[in-house]
Amino acid sequence: MMAWGSVLICTAYAMGTLYERHMEKVKELRKTYQGLIVILRHFISKDQYTENHCYRVSVYASKIAAYLGLDDDAIEDIRSAALLHDIGKLKVSRELLYKAARLSDDEYKQIQKHVSNGAEILEPIKGPLGRIIPIILAHHDKYDGNGYRPNKGEAIPLGARILAVADVYDALTSDRPYRKAMAPIEAKEIIVKGAGKDFDPRVVKAFLMAFERGEMDVPNFVV
């Protein structure tokens, strides 16, 4: 019995040590992952609107994800995808991004390319960022299939469905060269009307929970 007990104690100690080493490795990888996010955001920071927009969208998306009951790892992936979702605009001219007049069909197609551009930029480091590339690629897909790509419903990654609501809400409540910002209550009504068409109804419900608790209000600066 003593011998058997000793074996169990040694095994437990070894397993505990392996677990601790595993957790240390996870922490190390997480630091590397977060470091890459920071480095990539420096590229976005050349455009103050895009940087502030991405920051606010990351906060909104994280709140919505939390109300959907997602775990910490999933929320972190969505937050990271939100921070980088417009990185593809680095390949779009400033003149086009800030054009005050209505875009032509060709110009709109150029804007649409920012999604695939973003995936191309992130592709070389897809190891640590592989989980967020599908979210970025799909964040302009609409629930009814009429978005940038023909994906619809549950075929769109949940993270992208969350990001879509957060992205549109912030775009509506922000000043742009071609229009003034809407009041939050007006933007909320547009999101609600888009449920089942542009947006996942379940995600809209989570958005409303956050909105009604005053959690969809982020200052216009980067922290």
91 lies in some domain: yes
Residue span of the structural domain in which 95 resides: 2-212
Q: What is the pTM of this model?
A: 0.72
Are residues 42 and 34 in contact, defined by beta-carbon separation less than 8 angstroms? no
* Residue 14: pLDDT band with limits 50, 70, 90: very low
109 lies in some domain: yes
Please check the confidence at residue 128 and state whether its pLDDT lies above 90.
Answer: no
- Res 10: pLDDT: 41
60 lies in some domain: yes
175 lies in some domain: yes
Report the number of distinct structural domains present in the chain: 1
Tell me the C-alpha distance between 8 and 23, whole Å.
Answer: 22
Q: Express each pLDDT in 160-218 by its tens digit.
A: 999 999 999 999 998 877 678 899 999 999 999 999 999 999 999 999 999 999 998 87
- Res 71: pLDDT: 93
Q: Express each pLDDT in 63-113 by its tens digit.
A: 999 999 999 989 988 998 888 887 777 666 566 556 556 666 676 566 666
User: What CATH number does the domain containing 17 carry?
Assistant: 1.10.3210.10
